[in-house]
Structure 1
């Protein structure tokens, strides 16, 4: 199974949507709350070059946010990414 990392904040609807899709797929993920951790937020910005949450990485590859994750699912490409060993 793939190694999935997701940077989130509490009360973020897009974060909840992305996590729900991953859970529906049976995919385990590592969640990092960046709400009150400036160091982790800086890490997220450096890795993704973005400031918004969620930011999702699959096997170290940045796939984007909730909309990009949903687009991968709609295109039929998410299952293949999730099946790759991490």
Structure 2
């Protein structure tokens, strides 16, 4: 079962952000992409959620992971969603 809400806060030029998007897309995970370089409200929300200005930041149904790579994202996803993936 897919989480109800997945938001990914990114900086488009950030290679870690690109890897996070690739990871999500490869698993068919639906998410909202928020470009914090173009949207001040998204920037403010990212900082409020994560306490930092580094990207990427992902929020899954209220749980937050900040400044991560694919390995950390996989572990976070397993913990938050139980490894359930859409097909």
TM-score between both structures, scaled by the size of structure 2? 0.76
Give the alignment of 1:26-41 within 5 angstroms: 26-41=28-43
Aligned residue pair count: 81
Contact conserved, 1:48 with 1:64, CA < 8 A, in 2?
A: yes
- Structure 1 72/35 Cα, relative in aligned 2: closer, same or farther at 3 Å? closer
| Structure 2: gaps (5+ residues) | none
CA shift at 1:23, angstroms?
0.9
Contact conserved, 1:48 with 1:62, CA < 8 A, in 2?
A: yes
Q: Distance in 2 between matches of 1:9 and 1:26?
A: 21
- Per-residue Cα deviation, 1:24-57 (whole angstroms, up to 9, x for no partner): 1111100111103223211110111121111001
CA shift at 1:79, angstroms?
4.3
Contact conserved, 1:17 with 1:66, CA < 8 A, in 2?
A: no
| Structure 1: gaps (5+ residues) | none
**What's the Cα RMSD here?**
2.2
Q: Distance in 1 between matches of 2:31 and 2:73?
A: 17
Q: Show the counterpart of 2:77.
A: 78
TM-score between both structures, scaled by the size of structure 1? 0.77
CA shift at 1:72, angstroms?
4.7
Q: Distance in 2 between matches of 1:55 and 1:72?
A: 10
